Chains A and B, each alone.
Chain A
């Protein structure tokens, strides 16, 4: 058992020694990979395990990123305080929107969260006194003991990615995780089993927002620069592509999907139009030909077991 975990740790180890041989570009890509993994795992908890199709993930990671960066810029908090504060801010906002949003289900939920995401972007652009508007702003580099800022952020992201992915993998086996899966597979049945629907969904929302917030904060530290475009609908679609290509309802799938999407993104970096076509086609192809994603293919390997990777149930009418 636990083959996925072992492989994941091996991959993380490989990334951990990467800085010894890599140039700054590869280091950046490795760092981005760790951040994408956190984003994808968090989104998969909400969409793949709990079955709630929300469009707010990119916006919430933006809130985490802006929270982290602005606490540093305006209040001068050191980053090891600002990062958790940013993540908690994202969690709080996630929980706050989850209550009105969760009265809605299915399609209406995605609509409401889409509107929320666009609203958040608008705030980033127009609340210039605090967020510096559309032009963005510089984030001062964090300082770490012993090593430089680039390497420090790299190892911090890597450690958090491993930690959060493992936490998610054990969470989905816990009572809450099983409740989330039950909600996904049939709300009425879950409620009949005594599961508190609203609470379970809100927990999933909050957790996923926390992951988004951490990833956003790391992104702010890594890039040293913040701008609203980094959290728009294109990035939302990227995250969706990660979890769909990797496999809905699979932690291993989220990690693989994040890698696959990053590979495509960097390969087509120079061509924005081609990037869009590639991602769009990838999304369509994934849902048409491989609705269970790469993780579905992996599950056919002998001795590869990842529980709870089931076909997401047909959703109830909104």
Chain B
């Protein structure tokens, strides 16, 4: 049984570093061209080079999305871009448009992964792409565990599946609501998430069908935390987390939890016990409900947000650890905290622990009770050592 790859989103160089430090085996990101998250910070070639060096020094990988629906005028520029990606040493590109296959083969040595935009859901399609030289398929998010098993049975190829994050309400690639309602091209990086808007629903005679809440396409998020052992047993190569627009705190928290679950199962498969506490951490970190969606075959009314979604601004992230000196953590504030609060520290080099805040010292050396200014740097007495880039969060 091979250990799966934990693949995290990197919307910026900072997020790339946090994702890898917190346990991702690889990251995926967009360059400034041809990627589907036109509004993420994205990477210049210079940043990309730095990101690749950072990842490779940790023996980890970087994949670049080149997955927009291409237009004819872009094909020439694309060839040069692919050559540059190849020179930088990225580990694979994620494509949806097969025009790229021949361009990449003729001009580069890039490994090719097929994007979920192709909505690959069956083994005949997987066989086709394998014969074309694609080395990994990111399956459509509508596949169930049985379907993935059957695909694995028929084709020996790397399979990547989403395990966590937001879902498209449609088949990927088959929604252009953004194009029609906001003139932003959803298959070219401009998705304006019309699926989260409210609409009035009428029957064919024009009579309004009024529920307690208006109609929406909005789906709950995906979380397959409880199914990680099943996914490992199926032999899925890569477990993908969605969210290139998410914060460093979100990325670190989600990666940290999935890393723990994968490692715990791999280390003692026979005696593995699912830790429900991890679910709570993910739930606290997210601002939306999550369900297994299609994976367990239970997709239905419970996967939708018809009853109104509550997107609470996340206040859990209290501070980022900048340093640790003489029993005091130097912390940059992100949300209000005070003496007496129960908090929790986590990071890639420590075991998560809780404590009650007993002493806070501000920049001038004065003892204070409350930290309420954004990015204020304070010292908090902590008995266990901490490291830069550890996090302090609320203990719920």
Are both chains from one complex?
no
